[in-house]
Chains A and B, each alone.
Chain A
Amino acid sequence: MSERIIRGRVDRSGALVSADTPLLRLQQRAGAGLDKPLALPHLARLVALAQRLHRDISRPLYAADDHSDIHALVRITPDADGASLEISDWRTRPVMQPQVPVIADSAAVPQSWTWECDQQLRLVALHAAPDAPAIPDGWEGRSLSELFELQPDEDGRFPVLRALARQSRFESQRVQAAGIAMTLSGEALFDATGRFTGFRGLAVVAEDQVPAEPKGGATLVDPAFGSLPLSDPQFGRRIDGALRGPLSRIIATAETISGQFDGPIRADYARYAGDIAHAGRHLLGLVDDLADLQNIERPGFKAARDEIDLGDLARRAVGLLGMKAEEKGIRIDAPRTDDRAPATGEFRRVLQVLLNLLGNAIRYSPENSQIWIRVDREDDRAMVTVADQGQGIDAEQQAVVFEKFERLGRTDSGGSGLGLYIARRLARAMDGELTVDSAPGQGARFTLSLPARDIA
């Protein structure tokens, strides 16, 4: 994935008045140029939509010239004089040849099934290579997700559903079929009118079917956990089995509804389904965290060192939990889009910490109150602070708030009491710190600090 942003500018009449080279080249290959109307129909439609709605929109962008397809994400910000374009995740691939039934790659893939489904993911073909497991009976016309139980990737996403929304190829979709772990990949198919007609691809038996045994062998002894299942090395795997499957199905269904893959539905329903998918992914993340707890507690545990922006992550956290706050009438004052705090830390872990802090703030804030999130820098530390107008935490509670199973003196919050403990462990694993500053009746301020990053 390219992180480079390609920018452009369209005036009020729809003419492209400035563009970075890739965009300009595409415009030229489409027979136009600078100061000429935008010649990329999809992009032009999105610009018109943003101008009509008078708000920013972010959408997948599809363009094609005579020898390649371009998939990208575009963010369009309309203003009085036209609109600004920011294109990211620019991917180019050669034009594929739809309807060519030969699956060239599969010749070299043993232990595989080849499959094809229609645009509603109903299977129309399923063949087994000679050394592959037998194909289950009665596959004809069944839903792909019914025959292959979809498993989320590391980010809690489903490549096949993403590909369905984008009508593009996908790979590395982990599935279970007839008790066998497999990996699905597929190409999107189109007919002569350009209508999406389904996918065709491979299902390859996963090499690591048997889950790896916990490393080391020695059981971690934790005086705080005692005989609780968390101290059991098998716990993670048990959680996996008990929760991951149902959660995965919830997320997959919610994403299907949210993406309106099966036809248009009311926008607010789609948004609710999106929230369900978000929440599901978050829960799945927590399942991961519980299962990972032993890893976190392992001496020497370190998180990845990604280049992150605390402002961006804070806004993402607000995006994820905004609906929850809205339900209580809570207004979140998030960092503005130009508030940046470059730092070093693991993207997913920092987001997890922020979700925990923001989730707590929402949970303990009174209705119709406000939560502030601010980013800042002090010397070599980048900081993000989440402040609420809740009942606050007295000094005694502050001393124990980062302990395991501590629930800020509340028993009705629904939390596990592990969130802040994990959050601080994660902060420290990233050479950072998580602190609290509060007084009874004056709300709480949690501050995550991480090594700051200088950008050119």
Chain B
Amino acid sequence: MSESVSSPGIDPPSPTLSARLRELAGYLAAPAAGRLTEEQRALSLGVARRLVVDVAARLDPRIDPGLLWNEWLRGGLPCAARLAGVCFARAEEHRWREQSGQRTSPPPVLSEPETAHADAPAESVPLSDIDRAYLALQIADRRRFDALGNPALAIADLDGETFRTLLLDIAAWRLAEVSGDKRRAADLGDAVRVAIERQAEETGMAHAGQAYHEILGAELPGAAAAAIARHNWPTLIALAASAHRRAYDDMAMTLLTAETAALPSLLAPLRLDHAALAPLEASLVMLPARAVADVNNGE
């Protein structure tokens, strides 16, 4: 796949040289465009690795994820083009959330105990439908982290085609590994089918966001404004995604790359007043190396 950009006279190209030439070719094609920072590269790669490990574990717990990943690191991820978008979206969302976390002011001084927890309903009171939907959204969001809090992609959040492609790539790798064992190869086929069926039934951020959006009804603007004020970006993205009937990662990427001037129209379905958008605009402007269309903004 590297032949088209290999210089004549360098033969055969090493994988490293080949990758660098591809990178250079891309750079020459658009020298003014900002490039990935090391942080973006590392975060995206980490998201991809955790996804590959999770999918491999689901396919067959006997797969050695370290071996698989190391081989793919050397030879390249077969489904790289398909994974790039979702991994980058997740990595960028994570950078955004981290930035908000780091800029958040220290915990506030508590008000009087009589009022300190006034907005917290009693535990014995049944959850309202809105609270239940919000709780489900939080749970779906936290599934997008690994046990150590690193960003990850939940299998339930993947679109079916990406999951199927990745699953088949891993199955192909595994098939080569167990080629001598026909029974295992047959089991692998069954496992692929079961995994695809299971993934199709799972619900993630999109479903939780949609349920929350629908249950909010007239309270949608208030909830969206509160999400912005609290820098609760996953909730905002989920509400916007549901309002636009778009995928969560797609909406995340749209917001993260939007010009400031485009935000009001982008979030118009959430019926926010302009003042409510201010923290969002400020937060996005401060995010370094944002892949925004306006080259003066964030690059």
Residues of A within 8 A of B (CB): 40-42, 45, 49, 59-60, 62-64, 69, 95-103, 106-107, 113-114, 116, 118-122, 124-125, 127-129, 140-141, 143, 165-168, 188, 190-196, 200, 256, 259-264, 267
Across the interface, which residues of B come within 8 angstroms of A262, CB to CB? 117, 120-124
Q: Contact between B230 and A263 (Cβ–Cβ < 8 Å)?
A: no
Q: Are A45 and B111 CB-contacts (below 8 A) given A100-B98, A114-B149, A127-B147?
A: yes
B interface bracket (residues with beta carbon within 8 Å of A): 35 or more
Q: How far is the CB of B204 from chain A (nearest CB, A)?
A: 13
Q: List 17 interface pairs A-B (beta carbons < 8 Å), by A numbering.
A: A63-B109, A95-B106, A97-B104, A98-B107, A106-B149, A107-B148, A113-B147, A120-B123, A124-B138, A192-B104, A193-B229, A194-B108, A195-B108, A260-B113, A262-B120, A264-B114, A264-B117
Q: Contact between B102 and A100 (Cβ–Cβ < 8 Å)?
A: yes
Q: Contact between A190 and B148 (Cβ–Cβ < 8 Å)?
A: no
What are the 4 closest A-B residue pairs judged by CB atoms, nearest first?
A99-B101, A42-B109, A194-B108, A125-B142
Q: Are A124 and B142 CB-contacts (below 8 A) given A102-B148, A114-B149, A191-B232?
A: yes
Does chain A have a CB within 8 A of B110? Answer: yes
Q: Which residue of A lies closest to B147 (CB)?
A: A127
Q: Which residue of B lies closest to A267 (CB)?
A: B114
Q: Contact between A261 and B139 (Cβ–Cβ < 8 Å)?
A: no
Q: Which of A97, A190, A267 contacts B108 (CB 8 A)?
A: A190
Within 8 A of A (CB), among B108-144: 108-118, 120-124, 132, 135-136, 138-139, 141-143
Residues of B within 8 A of A (CB): 97-98, 100-118, 120-124, 132, 135-136, 138-139, 141-143, 145-151, 229-232, 279
Which secondary structure characterizes the binding site on chain B?
A: loop
Q: Contact between A41 and B149 (Cβ–Cβ < 8 Å)?
A: no
Q: Contact between B147 and A120 (Cβ–Cβ < 8 Å)?
A: no
Q: Which of A64, A122, A200, A256 contacts B135 (CB 8 A)?
A: A122
Across the interface, which residues of B come within 8 angstroms of A165, CB to CB? 113
Q: Contact between A62 and B109 (Cβ–Cβ < 8 Å)?
A: yes
Q: Are A128 and B147 CB-contacts (below 8 A) given A99-B97, A263-B122?
A: yes
Q: Which residue of B lies closest to A102 (CB)?
A: B149
Q: Contact between B231 and A191 (Cβ–Cβ < 8 Å)?
A: yes
Task: Give complex CA distance A319, B122 in Å.
Answer: 28
Q: Which of B104, B118, B138 contacts A263 (CB 8 A)?
A: B118
Task: Compute the total of residue contacts between A and B using a CB distance below 8 Å.
Answer: 142
Q: Contact between A194 and B107 (Cβ–Cβ < 8 Å)?
A: yes
Q: Contact between B107 and A64 (Cβ–Cβ < 8 Å)?
A: yes
Q: Contact between B139 and A124 (Cβ–Cβ < 8 Å)?
A: yes
Q: A98-B107, A262-B121, A267-B114 are in contact. List 10 more A-B contacts (CB 8 A).
A: A63-B109, A98-B101, A99-B101, A120-B121, A120-B123, A124-B142, A190-B104, A260-B113, A260-B116, A263-B122
Task: Give complex CA distance A99, B122 in Å.
Answer: 25
Q: Which of A95, A101, A256 contacts B145 (CB 8 A)?
A: A101
Task: Give complex CA distance A194, B105 in Å.
Answer: 7
Q: Contact between B146 and A127 (Cβ–Cβ < 8 Å)?
A: yes
Q: Are A140 and B139 CB-contacts (below 8 A) given A64-B109, A194-B108?
A: yes
Q: How far is the CB of A215 from chain B (nearest CB, A)?
A: 39
Across the interface, which residues of A come within 8 angstroms of B101, CB to CB? 97-101
Across the interface, which residues of A come within 8 angstroms of B151, CB to CB? 101
Task: Give complex CA distance A256, B122 in Å.
Answer: 10
Across the interface, which residues of A come within 8 angstroms of B102, CB to CB? 97, 100
Task: Give complex CA distance A119, B230 in Å.
Answer: 14
Across the interface, which residues of A come within 8 angstroms of B114, CB to CB? 260, 264, 267
Task: Give complex CA distance A122, B139 in Å.
Answer: 10
Across the interface, which residues of A come within 8 angstroms of B100, CB to CB? 99, 192
Q: Pick the most buried of A40, A96, A102: most chain B CB atoms within 10 A of its CB.
A: A102
Q: Which residue of B lies closest to A122 (CB)?
A: B135
Q: Contact between A141 and B107 (Cβ–Cβ < 8 Å)?
A: no
Across the interface, which residues of A come within 8 angstroms of B141, CB to CB? 124
Q: How far is the CB of A242 from chain B (nearest CB, A)?
A: 27
Q: Which residue of B lies closest to A164 (CB)?
A: B117
Q: Contact between B120 and A261 (Cβ–Cβ < 8 Å)?
A: yes
Q: Contact between A125 and B110 (Cβ–Cβ < 8 Å)?
A: no
Task: Give complex CA distance A200, B112 in Å.
Answer: 25
Task: Give complex CA distance A29, B75 in Å.
Answer: 57
Q: Which residue of A lies closest to B125 (CB)?
A: A262
Q: How far is the CB of B52 from chain A (nearest CB, A)?
A: 16
Q: Contact between A263 and B106 (Cβ–Cβ < 8 Å)?
A: no
Task: Give complex CA distance A45, B138 in Å.
Answer: 34
Task: Give complex CA distance A89, B111 in Å.
Answer: 19
Across the interface, which residues of B come within 8 angstroms of A103, CB to CB? 148-149
Task: Give complex CA distance A193, B103 in Å.
Answer: 11
Q: How far is the CB of A252 from chain B (nearest CB, A)?
A: 12
Q: Are A98 and B104 CB-contacts (below 8 A) given A192-B229, A262-B120?
A: yes
Task: Give complex CA distance A146, B112 in Å.
Answer: 28
Across the interface, which residues of A come within 8 angstroms of B115, CB to CB? 264
Across the interface, which residues of B come within 8 angstroms of A40, CB to CB? 109
Task: Give complex CA distance A127, B148 in Å.
Answer: 8
Q: Contact between A167 and B135 (Cβ–Cβ < 8 Å)?
A: no
Across the interface, which residues of A come within 8 angstroms of B148, CB to CB? 102-103, 106-107, 114
Q: How far is the CB of B184 from chain A (nearest CB, A)?
A: 24
Q: How far is the CB of B126 from chain A (nearest CB, A)?
A: 12
Q: Which of B107, B143, B145, B149 contacts A62 (CB 8 A)?
A: B107
Q: Contact between B107 and A196 (Cβ–Cβ < 8 Å)?
A: yes
Task: Give complex CA distance A256, B132 in Å.
Answer: 22
Task: Give complex CA distance A263, B232 in Å.
Answer: 23
Q: How far is the CB of B276 from chain A (nearest CB, A)?
A: 13
Task: Give complex CA distance A72, B232 in Å.
Answer: 30
Q: Which residue of A lies closest to B227 (CB)?
A: A191
Q: Are A263 and B121 CB-contacts (below 8 A) given A97-B101, A97-B102, A124-B139?
A: yes
Task: Give complex CA distance A98, B108 in Å.
Answer: 12
Across the interface, which residues of A come within 8 angstroms of B138, CB to CB? 118, 124
Across the interface, which residues of A come within 8 angstroms of B120, CB to CB? 119-120, 261-263
Q: Pick the most buried of B120, B147, B150, B230: most chain A CB atoms within 10 A of its CB.
A: B147
